[in-house]
Amino acid sequence: MPIIGDRVEIERKPKLGGGGPGKIPHRRGYGGGDDGDHGNSGDFRSREQRMRRYRVGMTLCIISVTSIFVLLTMVYVFRMGKGRFDEDEHRWVRDWIPITLPYFQLWTNSLILLLSSATLELARRSMIKKEEFTAMGIVPPRLKRDLPWLGITVFLGFCFLAGQVLVWNILRAQGAFLASNPSRSLFYILTGTHAVHLVGGLVVLIYAVAGRLLATRLESQRIAVEVTGWYWHYLAFLWFGIFGLVHFAKG
């Protein structure tokens, strides 16, 4: 997507060729025209800085969340192979009972999550467009009414959570409770942890939706949507990882 605002903003600035006054090594984010403002002034570049900062933060969060899920996967595999010592028969028996998954509901949830990923991407694009027009001081032409993609994403997020609750209810109706077997425990823990992380994403998205009411700057809304977008797609990816694990490693 070509960034229109970029060109408009940069032309206002005096050009300092060759990396500024010659003392500053030319590096991405510092060379050129705005050295030394540390993001304090409200010009375009420092807004980009702010966005980059949040992106770095989000990448770090994703790394940390990944470490949690890697650990849970390791426990899953480890626990699957463990067992208990049978006192009567004097031998080790595996106590892992394969889980019966409600596939229809799980696939429906997967579809909902994928769809929400797509709508969030659309929301991000329409938001960028809107911000560019605002930056140029133009009221966006309303040739085509944009759907409230962000609202739809939040709605789909809630649908996914409701779907997960449904999955847990189906399992409970089967008599598969958290404590009944390690395969059940880990299914609940994996999906539950995923749901908790999704709620975190939803909170930020709701903040962005409510931005109009809270009179948040468009820029903050855009950062929230952009950065949560990465997180949201990552959670969708993670969901398929979990789904794959419980499907292929049933034990």
Partner 1 sequence: MTTISPAADSTNRSFLRRFFFTTDHKTIGQQYFFLSLAAVLVGAWLSLLMRIHLVWPKAAIPFLGEIKPENYLAQLTMHGTLMVFFVLSTVPQSGFGTFFLPLQLGASNMAFPRLTAAGFWTALTSFLVLMAAFFVPGGASGAGWTQYPPLSALAAAGPGQGLGTDLWLVSIGLFCLSSLMSAVGFLATTTRHRAPGMTWMRMPLTCWSWFVTSILILLAFGILLAAVILLMLDRHAGTSFFIPGGLLVSGKMIDHAGGSPLIWQHLFWFFGHPEVYIAILPAMGVTSHLLSVFARKPVFGYKAMVGATLAIGALGFMVWGHHMFVSGMNPYAGFAFSTLTTAIAVPSAIKTFNWVATLYRGKIRYATPLLFSAGFVSFFITGGLTGPILAQPALDVYLHDTYFVVAHFHLIMAMAGLFAIFSATYFWFPKMFGRMMNETLGKLHFWITLLGAYATFMPMHLLGIAGHPRRYSELTGVQYVAAMAPLQKFVTVAAVVTLAGQAIFLMNLFWSMRKGPEAEANPWECGTLEWTLASPPPAEGFGEREVEVNHGPYEYNIPGTEKDFVMQDSPAS
| Half-sphere exposure (Cβ direction) of 155: Cα atoms closer than 13 Å | 7
* DSSP-derived 3-state class of residue 184: helix
- Shortest Cβ distance from residue 140 to partner 1 (Å)? 30
Other CB atoms closer than 10 Å to residue 214's CB: what's the count?
A: 11
H or E, element range at 86? strand 83-86
Alpha-carbon distance 98 to 77, whole Å?
Answer: 13
* Chosen residue from 17, 78, 144, 175 binding partner 1 by CB under 8 A: 78
Contact with partner 1 (CB under 8 A) among 157, 163, 182, 211: 182
Stretch binding partner 1 (CB under 8 A), from 84-92, 146-154, 166-174, 206-214? 84-92
User: 10 Å Cβ neighbour count for 22?
Assistant: 9
As a residue count, the chain comes to 251
| Residue 95 binds to partner 1 (criterion: CB under 8 A) | yes
CB of 70 to partner 1, least distance (A): 8
Q: Is 170 helix (H, G, I), strand (E, B) or coil?
A: helix
Letter for the amino acid at 31? G
| Among the listed residues 133, 148, 121, 153, the one whose alpha carbon sits nearest the alpha carbon of residue 212 | 148
Q: Is 174 in the site for partner 1 (CB under 8 A)?
A: no
Q: Rounded to the nearest whole angstrom, what is the least distance from the CB of residue 64 to partner 1 in the complex?
A: 5
Residue 205 near residue 196, CB atoms below 8 Å:
no
Q: Tell me which stretch binds partner 1 (CB under 8 A): 7-15, 69-77, 106-114, 134-142.
A: 69-77
Question: Which residue, 153 or 222, is less far from partner 1 as judged by CB?
Answer: 222
Q: Is 207 in the site for partner 1 (CB under 8 A)?
A: no
Residues at the site binding partner 1, with contacts judged by CB under 8 A: 20, 23-25, 27, 29-30, 35-36, 38, 40, 49, 52-53, 56-57, 60-61, 63-65, 67-68, 71-72, 75, 78-79, 82-85, 87, 95, 178-179, 182, 185, 189, 193
